[in-house]
Amino acid sequence: MRRIVPALLGLVFASLGFARLAQAADVPQPYVVPPPFPMLYNWTGFYIGGQGGYGWGTFDVNPRGADIDGWFAGGQAGFNWQSGRSPWVLGVEIDSAFASVERSVDHISGFAFASAYSKTDYFGSARMRIGYAIDRAMIYGTGGVAWAHNELSLYANPNYVGAITSSANSHVGFALGAGFEWALSRSWTMKLEYLYNDFGSANYLAGTVAGGVNADLRFGTGRFGLNYIFDWGRPYIGPKF
């Protein structure tokens, strides 16, 4: 009897405990809103912008060459495409700039002139871009066709006195480079970019100097740019799963 009574009391208390648990399970629980997913920036869209920087390189006038350098400023337009949540960004860009990339070449012998002066006043390019984006940051490589307008003046004196003649010509070559771009907001981005431009060779003053004057033009550019991306057909920024 002494053992039966405690056992019965234990069963009673256990039954009461299970009953309370069952009642608690029937009570509706409040819905907890999950935290929002991190947002992923999308680079797709048409854009236009402005850019400026500094150029340095060489202008080789046979048989003598010289370093050239100077400032430039201009603009660009392009299109980027990024598929879904892929980090790869494909694009195309056209840029052009007014420039003052120049230098004089003196003490030239073997010709009817003793010095020359070169000035690139305009250049541009049409390039493909491929980038790798981590949210709002993107690194990219770029390459394509490049062109430049250059003016060459010849002087009879090594001190650039007594101009014989001047001639302007266009060079066409290629551009290769890389850059970093950062999204300041949904619509505005900024970029830092380096391009190596080899504009190839052109023949100047063929009607004035026997055989003309062959000149090679090439220079690198370091530039800073700002772009505005339009919302035309651009997807909204979605959650990153």
Instruction: Answer whether 95's CB lies under 8 Å from 61's CB.
Output: no
For the stretch 113-169, pLDDT in tens is: 677 778 899 999 999 999 999 999 999 999 999 999 998 877 777 766 666 777 889
Please state whether 84 falls in left (phi above 0), alpha (psi between -120 and 50) or beta: left
Q: What percent of the chain has pLDDT over 70?
A: 71
CA dihedral (177, 94, 48, 168) positive or negative = positive
Cα–Cα separations (whole angstroms), residue 202 to 67, 79, 150, 186: 17, 32, 10, 44
Identify the pLDDT of residue 10. Answer: 47
Tell me the pLDDT band of 84, cut-offs 50, 70 and 90.
Answer: confident
Tell me the β-bridge partners of 190: 182, 226
For the stretch 182-193, pLDDT in tens is: 999 989 999 999
Q: How buried is residue 94: exposed, middle or buried, by Cβ count under 10 Å (0-12/13-18/19+)?
A: middle
Report all structural domains of the chain as residue ranges with CATH numbers, in order of start.
45-229 (2.40.160.20)
Cα–Cα separations (whole angstroms), residue 17 to 8, 29, 168, 229: 14, 20, 99, 65
Mean pLDDT of the chain: 81
Report yes or no on whether pTM surpasses 0.85. Answer: no
Identify the pLDDT of residue 149. Answer: 96
